[in-house]
Structure 1
């Protein structure tokens, strides 16, 4: 394999990597995508069974391929997987190379001329432009819980969760205040005894204010395209509520409490001293960028986050990122927002050098 000077190597063939490839084609570049999984669908096949998009189909497409069918529906996880596979096939027809089953081990600098990308099969690829689009699903955030070393139950993450039947009849504490925490707790409550815990009260945003989906208003007001300073970014966004989640908490169908004080053996201890038996603690505590392969390059901060501004590396020319939460706008890590970020990145991403690169 040889990589031309007009090439861009994209690590990850999920929604961000596919959007990057489309933008690269539009910019006259030759995109090559490397995907560790056996298909170009990113993390979507691994999400829980009931997950659907928060935004209607009409606002949820990647550039150049609208979702088919009712534009007002909220596509299910499996619909999104099929859509991404269709999108990838279209890119291949336009000349994009997508290599599935190809895992990147590390990236290093190539003497000022580009990047050396080492693969699990022993190959090395030298390339003048490198885009990291590996998302965060592979690095779930599991905060330390007081007393967890003595806990005799299970501690799971939302990344491990598929369907409520697996936890039927158990006593479950769901930790988190975001969309996934509330959705999982809500559906689990039909099958298990559930308490939703969070350090701060849950903030709700109606899904359809004034008869229109909230994403209609995001588009009209320009909120989705609004650049925000890092200081403006909330730790947890509001939960989009079609009307049932807030009502479930109000009616007692779903219980929410402040965070427990500690775990102890088979029990959770609350701030008021009450102790209750718990079978499972399920962490819906989010994810962190999955970028370990860039550590040898020196492109990451001490906590593994990329050193970047608007998706452009601040440590290495020719290195870019896509799909980071709050990368440029509130929509940056979503289907509806990653296309705009990809166009911006490909306009700005200059190659490291002018020499041809090869394996």
Structure 2
């Protein structure tokens, strides 16, 4: 094999396809029993923020009405079909525990004791299993429930409760909006929520991203935004105006069963739901020296700065604003494949192959 791809979600599948198209031989290792990434584990009502026509991986259009916003389960089914059409070795139920580097490339060890070797590796394991959980003052003594959005499925279990959703992104607002059907909900944010019209001039925002070239704009030439904007056709802003839910500055601390707000007021709370994002899940690279002290890859545009032949895929703002999305990961996969193929060519020429 030429390349070991770690992770069988959208990023790993895109990598496998572009490697095959380049004449390389990948093997894809996926810890779960299916190649659907984290999609089946997201909250039940999740829909894509981009229409189907802009939500495809290389070589297979997303089926159905191109202008609809596909549901979570449709995305999972699409990824499963995508994997079925790949002429690549895919091993599910194969959790990677460590990657080691040597003169001949990389040794990838799995939980069942198997070792795979190859001259190049792509880490495409995503971030859903590594939710970011900020530690808040007084949290250890809070008597209510604290959970991350990764552990939230549906509103029914929270009926009648007082809930604070922490976060100002799409997921935070979507979850708060649906919880407001059954509970009293506040969005707690450090800065005001930045709403963006989902359909300016009657066209979905992703149409304008495409025609203006924004989706391909190099991330190195623009600063990543201080929090993602919330795409809205008006329902979320209207809900806030009408008091269906409210937004307040972030509370300062917990105190028993209460939270203390920035103005000094306090109130009992049943649930605090943290929609605070995720971090890359790359613990299998610990000890390799490829990560910084926070666990983030040392890379430029997905290429490791420490280990030639090691690549990353699916990172936020890896190369462009759309790098970690269905619509953008394919472009990054083609770029990474070209670079790794060049690396493999250099290795072969030095070896006299």
TM-score (norm 1): 0.95
Aligned to 2:43: 48
Supply the distance in 1 between the matched residues of 2:38 and 2:195 (Cα, whole angstroms): 26
Q: CA deviation at 1:125?
A: 1.3
Q: CA deviation at 1:230?
A: 7.5
Supply the distance in 2 between the matched residues of 1:230 and 1:145 (Cα, whole angstroms): 34
Structure 2 counterparts to residues 129-168 of structure 1, below 5 A = 129-168=120-159
Query: After superposition, what is the alpha-carbon deviation per residue over 1:211-253, rounded to whole angstroms, capped at 9, x for unaligned?
Result: 0000000001000000122760013110000210111111111
Residue 108 (structure 1) aligned with residue 103 (structure 2):
no
SS at match of 2:70: coil
Find the partner of 1:17 among 12, 34, 42: 12
Aligned to 1:240: 231
**Counterpart contact for 2:219–2:318, Cα < 8 Å:** no
SS at match of 1:296: coil
What is the aligned-residue RMSD (CA, Å)?
1.2
Structure 2 counterparts to residues 303-314 of structure 1, below 5 A = 303-314=294-305
Residue 190 (structure 1) aligned with residue 190 (structure 2):
no
**Counterpart contact for 2:167–2:187, Cα < 8 Å:** yes
Higher relative CO (CA 8 A, sep ≥ 6), structure 1 or 2? 1
Q: CA deviation at 1:124?
A: 1.1
Supply the distance in 1 between the matched residues of 2:310 and 2:131 (Cα, whole angstroms): 24
Supply the distance in 2 between the matched residues of 1:245 and 1:206 (Cα, whole angstroms): 11
Query: 1:298 and 1:66, CA in 2 relative to 1: closer, same or farther beyond 3 A?
Result: same
Supply the distance in 2 between the matched residues of 1:63 and 1:337 (Cα, whole angstroms): 10
Find the partner of 1:348 among 321, 339, 353: 339
Q: CA deviation at 1:275?
A: 1.0
Find the partner of 2:317 among 310, 323, 326: 326
Aligned to 2:64: 69
TM-score (norm 2): 0.96
Q: CA deviation at 1:174?
A: 0.3
Q: CA deviation at 1:88?
A: 0.3
Find the partner of 2:165 among 174, 179, 183: 174
Supply the distance in 2 between the matched residues of 1:67 and 1:47 (Cα, whole angstroms): 19
Structure 2 counterparts to residues 177-256 of structure 1, below 5 A = 177-229=168-220, 232-256=223-247
SS at match of 2:206: helix
Structure 1: runs of 5 or more not aligned: none
Query: 1:135 and 1:230, CA in 2 relative to 1: closer, same or farther beyond 3 A?
Result: farther
**Counterpart contact for 2:40–2:72, Cα < 8 Å:** yes
Supply the distance in 2 between the matched residues of 1:312 and 1:148 (Cα, whole angstroms): 38
Supply the distance in 1 between the matched residues of 2:68 and 2:51 (Cα, whole angstroms): 5
Aligned to 1:34: 29
Aligned to 2:278: 287
Supply the distance in 2 between the matched residues of 1:27 and 1:297 (Cα, whole angstroms): 28
Aligned length: 346
SS at match of 2:37: coil
Query: After superposition, what is the alpha-carbon deviation per residue over 1:154-193, rounded to whole angstroms, capped at 9, x for unaligned?
Result: 1100000000112111111000000000000000000111
Supply the distance in 2 between the matched residues of 1:97 and 1:167 (Cα, whole angstroms): 43
Supply the distance in 1 between the matched residues of 2:29 and 2:220 (Cα, whole angstroms): 32
Find the partner of 2:53 among 37, 55, 58: 58
Supply the distance in 1 between the matched residues of 2:67 and 2:222 (Cα, whole angstroms): 34
**Counterpart contact for 1:8–1:131, Cα < 8 Å:** yes
Query: 1:230 and 1:268, CA in 2 relative to 1: closer, same or farther beyond 3 A?
Result: farther
Query: After superposition, what is the alpha-carbon deviation per residue over 1:251-270, rounded to whole angstroms, capped at 9, x for unaligned?
Result: 11110000001110000111
